[in-house]
Amino acid sequence: GAVVSQHPSWVICKSGTSVKIECRSLDFQATTMFWYRQFPKQSLMLMATSNEGSKATYEQGVEKDKFLINHASLTLSTLTVTSAHPEDSSFYICSARDPGVTNTEAFFGQGTRLTVV
């Protein structure tokens, strides 16, 4: 089946620094990828929809200048957490699906655990 890979799987950074998380579709081209955030023992909350070659679409309440998304190619989307603070510590997960097929499963990355100290 299709595989989505995230990197890194975990990262620790200091407050005020920026962190980049990569999401790659390994065996298919994804015109659209999705970024989710998950707090401990809570559900996945959609942050934004990443569109190849265009600006990302952010969900209400998500700061676009805080969470920069770049979908530069059909197999790569990046999420950059800028000027990270401890409250940004969370589990970030991306997903993608094969384009052109409706209502098919979404493939999720393994997630990135971000800890801001």
Q: 13, 20, 32, 52: which one contacts another protein (CB under 8 A)? A: 32
Site for another protein contains 27 (CB under 8 A) = no
Count interface residues toward another protein (CB under 8 A): 26
Handedness of CA 68, 27, 102, 43 (dihedral sign): negative
Q: Concatenate the DSSP letters of all residues of 34-85 into one string.
A: EEEEE-TTS-EEEEEEEETTS--EEPTT--TTTEEEEEEETTEEEEEE-S--
Q: 17, 18, 29, 42: which one contacts another protein (CB under 8 A)? A: 42
Q: 11, 13, 44, 76: which one contacts another protein (CB under 8 A)? A: 44
Distance CA 52, CA 70 (A): 8
Chain residues in the site for another protein (CB under 8 A): 6, 32, 34, 41-46, 49, 91, 93, 95, 97, 101-111, 113
